[in-house]
Amino acid sequence: GRTLWRRWSGYHRRSRVETKMNCMKLLGQKLMSRDFDRQTAELQVRIAILNRFTALGIPVTQPVG
């Protein structure tokens, strides 16, 4: 049923990408730079910030005992 459809259509992956794109838009709708190289650097900084936020939100699990 639904699980098979999700795997077949890639729905989960698409949903995660849409969520990340929404987060990118929250950091700023437009690019501030006019030069292409600076725009590239600006996007790389935004992606680095998102990756850091994601890393901070992932719990670190350690075995006890």
- 19 touches 50 (CB < 8 A): no
Q: What is the pLDDT of residue 54?
A: 84
Q: What is the pLDDT of residue 29?
A: 81
**Complete DSSP assignment for the chain:** -HHHHHHHHTHHHHHHHHHHHHHHHHT-SS----SHHHHHHHHHHHHHHHHHHHHHHSPPP----
pLDDT digits (tens, 9 = 90+) for 3-52: 888 788 877 788 888 888 888 888 888 888 899 999 999 989 988 988 88
Q: Which residue type occupies 50?
A: L
Q: What is the pLDDT of residue 48?
A: 92
